[in-house]
Amino acid sequence: MADRIIAKRDEFLRTQTIEHDVPAPREIPQEELMRRVPRPLRHVKFIPVKNLVFFSRNNPPAFSYETKIKIPLPKDKLVVQVRNVALNPVDLKIMNSYTRNMNRGVGFGREYSGVITEVGENLHGQWKEGDEVYGLFYHPNLGYGTAQSSIEVSPSKDVILPKPSNVGFQAASGTLFCLGAAFNILDDLESKGQLSEKANILINGGTTSVAIFAIQLLKYHYRIPNKLVLLCSEYGAVFLKSHFPDLCDELIFVNYVMSANHIHKPLQDMINNREIISYDAVTGQPLSTPYNGGKFTVILDFIGGYQLLSHTDALLAKNGAYVTTVGDYRANYSKDVYNAWDNPSANGRKIFGKLLWAFDYTHFHFDPNAKYVSRNDWAEKCAELVESEVVKCIIDKVYDWKQFEDALDYLKKGHSHGKVVLDVEKF
């Protein structure tokens, strides 16, 4: 019985094998395959980008991976792999402007340093891959920022310069925005004849980044002979003396902390009594120094508020200049918004300043787009000053960009002495 079952099984298997035998497939010529197989879509390359963005001021920033830079590039553009990004108060103001969530992320950072990795066809004679650069990428209304692993730059719209070999990436990233602002403020004053040898200058906020560059420009570039009067804290005075020891005898420090609610008073006493009262850091004893400068011909206000402005009759000389980067309201980086309107009194002061108040009032707004550079070639002139070491960037703190929350919190307090810089990882 078992033998019959095995025999039938073998016969069935032979039958199945014969029925399912198929001839070997013929070899199809390559030309026929090319005609029959659908061609793939055109290959598109991208540079992946890691990008620090926010969606509104009410939500914490986060890293995004949605940005891609398409290559080959447009003929008039470059790609820069970012090494460092410097933060500025304007970054906080832009974030504060977005009260509701956006559909896409808005970038941080307006200035950077890095290395060129891609060059558009029309730019090969000017730039090449591997060039070390620094620059400004100012597109506050479009939501672009520099705090990303790579950025696509248009030299016709964005200020980009070769990084001097004697300047590191961190310092380069924090140079152009505040130096450019200080240079343009002083260049405008010079064009009006207000930076003469007799200029007597007061700077409110002496350790802000714009002020630090302004001090260097006034003393090393414009060679203003009179001493500069700086409103800052006692720590700020020590900070500036340590970084610029050769200027110790060229600067007069007035401690605003001791007269926070009436900062005009020690300045007024200094002018009227022709002496400067300071205090010994160890004994606390008052020290008297002669002062013969008289009223100020220029006040540079990087803090804002009415404390100086409301006492210009006592502080500012006739036909003097009052320049502020903040306005009538004291800076508050937790609330201030980008491009906020000035109040009516400030607008009236700009229009009728010399007629009603006998001084020239300017609320300075810095737009560093390349289209405005040709007015006075400020970018090239600043580059020369940096390369020749006439001015230098002072860095306060450096953070890994993954510590952006700590960096933004520190910047928001408004007590930084110099630049706050982010190290950007390679991605």
Please state which of the ranges 201-215, 286-300, 342-356, 359-373 shows the lowest mean pLDDT: 342-356
pLDDT in tens, 316-357: 999 999 999 988 777 787 788 877 665 555 655 555 555 556
Cα dist. 87→39, 48, 205, 389, 421 in Å? 48, 23, 18, 22, 6
pLDDT band, very low/low/confident/very high, at 28 (cuts 50, 70, 90): low
Higher-confidence residue of 160 and 427: namely 160
Its pTM stands at 0.84
Q: What is the pLDDT of residue 18?
A: 43
Burial of 240 (0-12, 13-18, 19+ CB in 10 A): buried
Q: Is the pLDDT of residue 36 over 60?
A: no
Taking residues 405-419, report their average pLDDT: 92
For 242, residues 6+ apart whose C-beta sits below 8 A from its C-beta are: none
Q: Is the pLDDT of residue 369 over 90?
A: no
Q: What is the pLDDT of residue 41?
A: 47
Q: Is the pLDDT of residue 20 over 50?
A: no
Q: Read off the tokens for 47.
A: 């540079």
Q: What is the pLDDT of residue 17?
A: 46
pLDDT band, very low/low/confident/very high, at 282 (cuts 50, 70, 90): low
Tell which residue, 268, 381, 275, has the closest CA to residue 315: 268
Task: Assess contact for 134 and 158: CB atoms under 8 A.
Answer: no
3 state SS of 184? helix
Taking residues 23-34, report their average pLDDT: 57
Q: Read off the tokens for 276.
A: 């400067």
Higher-confidence residue of 72 and 331: namely 72
Higher-confidence residue of 306 and 380: namely 380
Q: Read off the tokens for 139.
A: 């597109």
Crossing angle of helices 176-191 and 209-216, rounded to 10°? 50
Q: What is the pLDDT of residue 8?
A: 58
Task: Assess contact for 239 and 413: CB atoms under 8 A.
Answer: no
Q: What is the pLDDT of residue 354?
A: 54
Which of 96-100, 197-201, 356-360 ranks highest by mean pLDDT?
Answer: 197-201
Please state which of the ranges 74-88, 98-112, 296-310 shows the lowest mean pLDDT: 98-112
Taking residues 72-101, report their average pLDDT: 92
Please state which of the ranges 40-54, 208-222, 321-335 shows the lowest mean pLDDT: 40-54
Longest dimension (CA), the chain: 133
Q: What is the pLDDT of residue 113?
A: 98
Q: Is the pLDDT of residue 44 over 90?
A: no
Q: What is the DSSP letter of 104?
A: S
Q: Tell me the pLDDT of the chain averaged across its residues.
A: 86
Chain CA centroid to CA 310, Å: 31
Please state which of the ranges 40-54, 96-110, 129-143 shows the lowest mean pLDDT: 40-54
Q: Read off the tokens for 36.
A: 């029959």
